[in-house]
Amino acid sequence: MAEQRPGAGTADDLTARIAALEAENAQLRAAATARAAADAAAASAAGGPADPAAPGVPAARRQRHAGRATAAVVLVVLGALLAPVAVVAVWARDLVTDTDRYLATVGPLVDDPQIQSAVTNRVTGAIVDAADLDGLAGEAVTAVDDLGLPPRVSALVGSLQEPLVDAATGFIRRAVDAVVTSDVLEAVWDEANRTVHQQLNAVLRGDPDAIASIDAQGTLVVDLTGVVDTVRASLSDAGFTLVDRLPTISASFPLLQSADLVRAQNAYRVLDVLGTWLVWLSLGLLAAGVLVAVHRARVLVVAGLSLAGAMLLLGAALTIGRSVYVDALPPAVQRPDAAVVVYDQVVAFLRVALRSAFVLGLVVALVAFVAGGTSAARALRASWTRAATGLRTAGERRGISTGPVGVWFDEQRVPVRVLIGAGAALALVLASHLTPAYVATVAVVAVVLLAVTTLVARPAAAQPGPGADGPPRDGAAASG
């Protein structure tokens, strides 16, 4: 038997180990390359390619990324700056062109006590002036004086002139107040404002036959002749027949008083164009900023927050504008408190619109964050996936399974999510007028649908082996 040379076995073992280590090293390098490719693909899906500032990225590529980042910032800023202007333009266009929207805006004013008081004062003043109560009382006193009564009686009769006027004025005021606080004013108010709205369009177009008018101070008035006629009939029925001999009495209520109306008259066509297209231009700029960005998910978060911030600025501008409006009221305005009520009611739908856009911006930013590639977003998605898997597994242990339907949802999860997102966007776009509650409801429904589809989705690999629900997915085979 040949004698074995010392150390030969040890050398063979070392050679084998070196070969195994080299093979393992090659496998590790291949795995690292695969992970890098997967990370790059994930970064691209999450909002753009890998960090352009990373080592090894060519200078030309870095320059292209810098240019795209700059373009994205410019587009998002422009879109955010145009958003408040677009909201105001849409609100103004609807107020001018949509009669139902206009009546919904000014209709509630009729129930406000300050507006009712202001209308009562105007109608009462119009009737008192038309009846010339001061003149009638003076004529009555003069006629009594001509009767040759004793001086003391004549002096007493003369002192009754002012109380007679006050008593008649109070009687008229009570009759007017009874009409104004009844359903009569609401009917007259709606009809008068419907006429005003139709005429407002004519005024803004410059139609010389328009009944409603905007004077040099920008005052838009509502005709109260219907209220006056009702009060005259009520006074006549009560025995105050003097009103039957009076000519036609005109009374009006200044609905809006601002130089902005004069400017709106001069820019009516521009308002119509801006109200139609400016909102789409703003959204288009925001979308373009996201599309050209390197990291789209991050820029979408910024775009959503920018939209919400722009709406906050618009809300602050409305609050400041309220004070400016009150300070700019001319001295002829007898009831500044009523003017403030009118301002608040007129901009009520504008406030609803800006709040809706604010909620929409926050929803977009939140969705973009969750779908992004940050570690927090990935951890959040991983937590939800684990929770959904745990619930699905627990259900399957108890015999509850979605079967082939769940497999289909798992295989088509990307198209299903795109369909849900597109449906939510379509629901927002097709809505005639957004409200914060509507935007939040659409967002909640979309989230619930996404959660349900995730729970229903059942990977094919989770099925039992052949003979149950079908063969394992991806060609997985049982080991023997």
Highest mean pLDDT among 192-196, 256-260, 472-476: 192-196
Check residue 47 and give its pLDDT. Answer: 45
Check residue 316 and give its pLDDT. Answer: 92
Check residue 430 and give its pLDDT. Answer: 86
d(CA 248, CA 229): 9
Tell me which of 33-37, 214-218, 315-319, 400-404 is least confident: 214-218
Contact 193, 106 (CB under 8 A): yes
d(CA 65, CA 299): 14
DSSP H helix total and E strand total for the chain:
18, 2
The whole-number average pLDDT for the span 174-191 is: 81
d(CA 203, CA 224): 19
Q: Could you tell me how far CA 121 lies from the centroid of its own chain?
A: 37
Q: Does the pLDDT value for residue 341 go beyond 70?
A: yes
Tell me which of 220-234, 246-260, 323-337 is least confident: 246-260
- Chain segment 108-122, per-residue pLDDT in tens: 888 888 888 888 888
**Confidence class for position 92, pLDDT limits 50, 70, 90:** confident
Check residue 215 and give its pLDDT. Answer: 53
d(CA 339, CA 256): 8
Q: Rounding to the nearest 10 degrees, give the CA dihedral for residues 196, 200, 202, 204.
A: 170
Q: Name the residue type at position 235.
A: L
- 103 Cβ contact list (under 8 Å, min separation 6): 190, 193, 194, 197
Q: What angle do CA 342, 346, 351 make, to 5 degrees?
A: 125
Check residue 440 and give its pLDDT. Answer: 92
Highest mean pLDDT among 178-192, 201-215, 305-319: 305-319
More confident residue, 297 or 260: 297
- Chain segment 117-139, per-residue pLDDT in tens: 888 888 888 888 887 777 777 76
Q: Does the pLDDT value for residue 148 go beyond 70?
A: no
Check residue 140 and give its pLDDT. Answer: 66
Check residue 469 and give its pLDDT. Answer: 44
Q: Does the pLDDT value for residue 257 go beyond 60?
A: no
d(CA 111, CA 186): 8
Task: Please report how the helices 183-205 and 259-266 are oriented relative to each other, as an axis angle in degrees rounded to 10.
Answer: 50
- Own/partner pairs for 51-59, CB < 8 Å, 24+ apart? 52/294
**Confidence class for position 361, pLDDT limits 50, 70, 90:** very high
d(CA 371, CA 297): 7
**Confidence class for position 477, pLDDT limits 50, 70, 90:** very low
- Chain segment 22-74, per-residue pLDDT in tens: 777 777 777 767 666 655 555 554 444 555 555 555 566 667 777 888 888 89
The whole-number average pLDDT for the span 462-479 is: 43
**Confidence class for position 474, pLDDT limits 50, 70, 90:** very low
Q: pTM of the full predicted structure?
A: 0.65
Contact 335, 121 (CB under 8 A): yes
CA distances from 94 to 28, 191, 210, 247, 248 (A): 65, 19, 20, 39, 35
Tell me which of 193-197, 319-323, 402-406, 431-435 is least confident: 193-197
Structure tokens at 381: 């998605």
Check residue 462 and give its pLDDT. Answer: 47
pLDDT averaged over every residue in the chain: 76
The whole-number average pLDDT for the span 341-357 is: 88
Tell me which of 51-60, 79-88, 327-336 is least confident: 51-60
Tell me which of 44-48, 369-373, 377-381 is least confident: 44-48
Q: Does the pLDDT value for residue 444 go beyond 90?
A: yes
Contact 180, 227 (CB under 8 A): yes
Q: Does the pLDDT value for residue 359 go beyond 90?
A: yes
d(CA 129, CA 219): 22
- Own/partner pairs for 171-174, CB < 8 Å, 24+ apart? 171/235, 171/240, 172/124, 172/127, 172/128, 172/131, 172/231, 172/235, 172/240, 173/120, 173/124
Check residue 69 and give its pLDDT. Answer: 84
d(CA 349, CA 208): 30
Helical spans, DSSP H, in 132-245: 133-145, 151-159, 161-180, 183-205, 225-237
Contact 117, 298 (CB under 8 A): no
Check residue 46 and give its pLDDT. Answer: 46
Q: Name the residue type at position 133.
A: L
Check residue 309 and give its pLDDT. Answer: 93
d(CA 224, CA 180): 11
Percent of the chain having pLDDT more than 90?
A: 12
Helix (H) or strand (E) segment spanning residue 452: helix 436-456
d(CA 257, CA 227): 22
Check residue 468 and give its pLDDT. Answer: 44
More confident residue, 366 or 196: 366
More confident residue, 19 or 208: 19
The neighbour count for residue 107, using CB atoms within 10 Å, is: 15
In 3D, which of 90, 93, 104, 77 has the Cα closest to residue 354?
Answer: 90
Q: Does the pLDDT value for residue 204 go beyond 60?
A: yes
